[in-house]
Amino acid sequence: MNSRNLKAQEFEAHPLTSFNTSFISQFDISPLEDFWFKGADDTNVHGFLMKPPAFDPAKKYPVVLCIHGGPQGMFSDRFLTGGFIHTMLTAPGYVAVFINPRGSQGFGELFMNQVSRDYGNRSYIDLMKGMDYVIATYPFIDKDKQAAIGASFGGYMVDWIMGHTDRFKCLVSHAGLFNLTSFYGTTEEVWFPAWDMGNTPWDESELYDKWSPCKFVKNFKTPTLVTQGEIDFRVNLSESLQLFTALQRQKIPSRLVVFPDEGHVISKHQNIVRWWKEIQRWFKLHLSN
């Protein structure tokens, strides 16, 4: 039989393994729920929402916005073993939101490329409109207890958020791009800034200044946890040090945690435990009241 003549309904998916079924059954893991909303330029933007364990629809829950890196990355419905694991954000009793803003993969070339030379614009608008949509749509979210967390480009966006809104009770920035000019001069992968900014800092100095969070320090107000690996060659430690200095000099509640034996991603088991403890302590401190 010619396989081209087979109809889709004649195929059924069957799991080949079930190694973790009994282990996972011991935990209350909520599924990721899709949602769509209108972002910048009235474009359709995708996101996920995850509820906390023992979810009670009659209660109000703090909400944590998680921002992926890249920016050419993508949140998807899959089991994560590193980075911002879905369930680690919801486990303390929070609703977590995972939005795929402009620059994300998986939604067409135009959607992905629209982040280039536009770093803090459409992506930022997509994220804020996504949070507005979530708060208006899900009555169990406490709009007065919002937090945001991100790494790499996600960390950049957290740094950008500091200078452009005070809607969040607290923030977590991991390996975030703070000064795009110094980032260009210290990263081991110059393709990213050259593509995202369209050129070098000496050819496009105004554009680098326009989208650098460091230019908006005087607007910073939000308590922020800053984390970084000391041997990070993608985003140099100096980016986080500049951010922390700016926060401290303005007496904004802040904490710096540096892992001397980690690179761009926190990957060693004991360090992962410490990292998540730091994150959850920070959220508890600022979202409990």
CATH of the domain at 219: 3.40.50.1820
pLDDT (mean) for 220-228? 98
Determine the structural domain holding residue 184 and report its residue range: 30-287
118 is catalytic: no
- pLDDT above 90 (res 172): yes
**Of residues 232, 240, 254, 286, which has the active-site annotation?**
232
- pLDDT above 90 (res 31): no
Q: Is residue 1 part of a domain?
A: no
What pLDDT does residue 126 have?
98
Q: Is residue 121 part of a domain?
A: yes
Q: C-alpha distances in angstroms, 34 versus 39, 49, 117, 212?
A: 15, 7, 29, 32
Confidence of residue 77 (pLDDT cuts 50, 70, 90): confident
Confidence of residue 73 (pLDDT cuts 50, 70, 90): confident
Domain count, the chain: 1
Rg (C-alpha) for the chain, rounded Å, is 20
232 is catalytic: yes
- pLDDT above 70 (res 83): no
What pLDDT does residue 80 have?
60
Q: Is residue 124 part of a domain?
A: yes
The residue among 80 and 70 whose pLDDT is bigger is 70
pLDDT (mean) for 207-219? 96
Mean pLDDT of the chain: 91
Q: Is residue 46 part of a domain?
A: yes
State both tokens at 114. 């629209």
Q: What is the pLDDT of residues 89-145, one digit of tens each?
A: 999 999 999 999 999 999 999 999 999 999 999 999 999 999 999 999 999 999 999
* 67 contact partners, CB below 8 Å, separation of at least 6: 99, 101, 127, 148, 149, 150, 153, 154, 157, 158
- pLDDT above 90 (res 28): no
132 is catalytic: no
Q: Is residue 14 part of a domain?
A: no
d(CA 254, CA 170): 10
- pLDDT above 80 (res 10): no
Q: Report yes or no: 156 and 177 within 8 Å, Cβ to Cβ.
A: yes
Residue closest to 91 by CA, chosen among 181, 30, 134: 30
Q: Is residue 159 part of a domain?
A: yes
Confidence of residue 81 (pLDDT cuts 50, 70, 90): low
**Of residues 46, 118, 123, 152, which has the active-site annotation?**
152
Q: Is residue 15 part of a domain?
A: no
This prediction has a pTM of: 0.90
Q: Is residue 282 part of a domain?
A: yes
What pLDDT does residue 92 have?
93
**Of residues 68, 86, 174, 264, which has the active-site annotation?**
264
